[in-house]
Chain A
């Protein structure tokens, strides 16, 4: 019993290490291809549109509601200490440093990540990638790289939009609904939030962008070319991205605090 359990653990560990190795090698290949891919920036812009612009509605809607909830909860908490005029600062720091990058990354994994993985998986299943190979066109260079870079560049932009709309939502609830003084709300925020706080959010969303895009293109590109295989790649993209984003968030927060 214990021996078989230990054997299973070893097998799982070996599988995990192999996967990590494969991710690392694929990631290094993408890094090596980046300068050449940037030369065909038109393809990257197309993917920024696909991954970024198509995620805008869900990001903006979510940002608004997260900001409104933050306004309500923040007001309730701060009112207990008699400092509800600090709501602007609390909402801004919460959104810029934490909620903006994290929730955007989770939504990005669910919306754009799955789209990327299933698109690449279907391209493999329908021989489109093999056809490119036969036309002497490297699919990693032509298909994967623009999607990878498009995802990376989209994430900080989406996170910034999320935080902006979130702040509007917090202001809507805090100032318009709960009666916090508008001047206090904005002036306290401007006084307390520093450039470093903004950069922390930007850095986090850039790291999450690399992680989510890498996971999506890796899973899609290496998916088993069947309907089941593509479905599994899509699911793995969301699950792995979500866990990795939360893990990275803790690590980055611990380092930057």
Chain B
């Protein structure tokens, strides 16, 4: 479904990716993990055509994203759904209108049918009863679920989750986890989940990629990554505070810095 080959990408001469290779298989839930600041969200932006790679191939459904025109990228995105970290609901529309938004923009469905579709999707995420609430009235978990209903309202083939567990209480987190797996299997989707919550993501994903230092340092089913012999992989998977990724940001000599007063 998605294929990245030898992808290089840099921002202001700082290399973010240095030869990344990723394969997302159709029908699977694939996790992309890695420490903060390793470019996980950037990877999603490359897949969705929001950013273009400096070098290498980014292919979605067999088509090179870099070779697509703007209308073609928009047509590709109609077959994608994306859940943003904070939900990114439109704050001037209520829950119902937020979910209906893509349908109103892209289709001419009669109001009766549109209502049917929107309520079905809201029911799938358990928030049919909250249809008339405004985004400001929703908890973080509810906002994330409404955004999920909006992401699936156009019946996409690929669903992308950007850090879906950040800031959620255990109950909301459990609900989102269950929804990721259930929606993927019942709707026949392909899902990409970007996260650094190892335990949660391992529970729902079929395959994992671990991103660090601009490269994929490990890939495989979640269980195989947990038992990896690589120190770097072990540090991340087991949440060790020090290791190949140091606790301290590079700094000059401690005593010298304490003695020296900047002018």
Chain A interface residues (CB < 8 Å from chain B): 122-123, 126-128, 130-138, 142
Provide the bound-state CA to CA distance between A42 and B88, in Å: 24
CB atoms of B74 and A127 under 8 A apart? no
Nearest CB in chain A to that of B92: its residue: A119
CB atoms of A135 and B86 under 8 A apart? no
Provide the bound-state CA to CA distance between A134 and B102, in Å: 10
Given contacts A135-B101, A135-B105, A136-B106, contact A126 B86 (CB under 8 A): yes
**Chain A, interface SS category:** helix
CB atoms of A134 and B77 under 8 A apart? yes
Residues of A within 8 A of B75 (CB): 136
Instruction: Name which of A134, A138, A142 has the most chain B CB atoms within 10 A of its CB.
Output: A134
Provide the bound-state CA to CA distance between A126 and B85, in Å: 10
CB atoms of A130 and B102 under 8 A apart? no
Residues of A within 8 A of B90 (CB): 128, 131-132
Which of B80, B85, B89 is close to A134, meaning CB atoms less than 8 Å apart?
B80
- CB of B142 closer than 8 Å to a CB of A: no
Provide the bound-state CA to CA distance between A215 and B218, in Å: 49
Beyond A126-B88, A130-B84, A132-B90, 8 additional contacts (C-beta under 8 Å) are A126-B91, A127-B88, A130-B50, A131-B88, A134-B80, A135-B105, A136-B74, A136-B78
CB atoms of A128 and B74 under 8 A apart? no
- Nearest CB in chain A: distance from B47 CB, A: 11
How many residue-residue contacts, CB under 8 A, span A and B? 50
- CB of B122 closer than 8 Å to a CB of A: no
B contact residues, range: 20 to 34
Instruction: Name which of B48, B105, B147 has the most chain A CB atoms within 10 A of its CB.
Output: B105
Residues of A within 8 A of B4 (CB): none
Provide the bound-state CA to CA distance between A123 and B77, in Å: 20
Among residues 151 to 185 in chain B, which have CB atoms less than 8 Å away from a CB atom of chain A? 154
- Nearest CB in chain A: distance from B84 CB, A: 5
Which of B50, B91, B147 is close to A133, meaning CB atoms less than 8 Å apart?
B50
Which of B78, B85, B91 is close to A128, meaning CB atoms less than 8 Å apart?
B91
Which of A122, A134, A138, A142 is close to B82, meaning CB atoms less than 8 Å apart?
A134
Provide the bound-state CA to CA distance between A136 and B170, in Å: 33
Contact with A along B96-121 (1 / 0, CB 8 A): 00000110011000000000000000
Residues of B within 8 A of A138 (CB): 74
Residues of B within 8 A of A134 (CB): 48, 50, 77, 80, 82, 84
A-B contact pairs, 25 of them (CB 8 A): A122-B91, A123-B91, A126-B86, A126-B88, A127-B85, A127-B86, A128-B89, A128-B90, A128-B91, A130-B84, A130-B88, A131-B90, A131-B147, A132-B90, A134-B48, A134-B50, A135-B105, A136-B75, A136-B105, A136-B106, A137-B101, A137-B105, A137-B106, A138-B74, A142-B105
Among residues 59 to 100 in chain B, which have CB atoms less than 8 Å away from a CB atom of chain A? 74-75, 77-78, 80, 82, 84-86, 88-91
Nearest CB in chain B to that of A50: its residue: B92
CB atoms of B84 and A131 under 8 A apart? yes
Counting from the closest, the 9 A-B pairs by CB-CB distance are: A131-B88, A127-B88, A136-B74, A136-B77, A134-B82, A135-B102, A136-B78, A127-B84, A137-B105
Nearest CB in chain B to that of A138: its residue: B74
Nearest CB in chain B to that of A122: its residue: B91
- Nearest CB in chain B: distance from A103 CB, A: 29
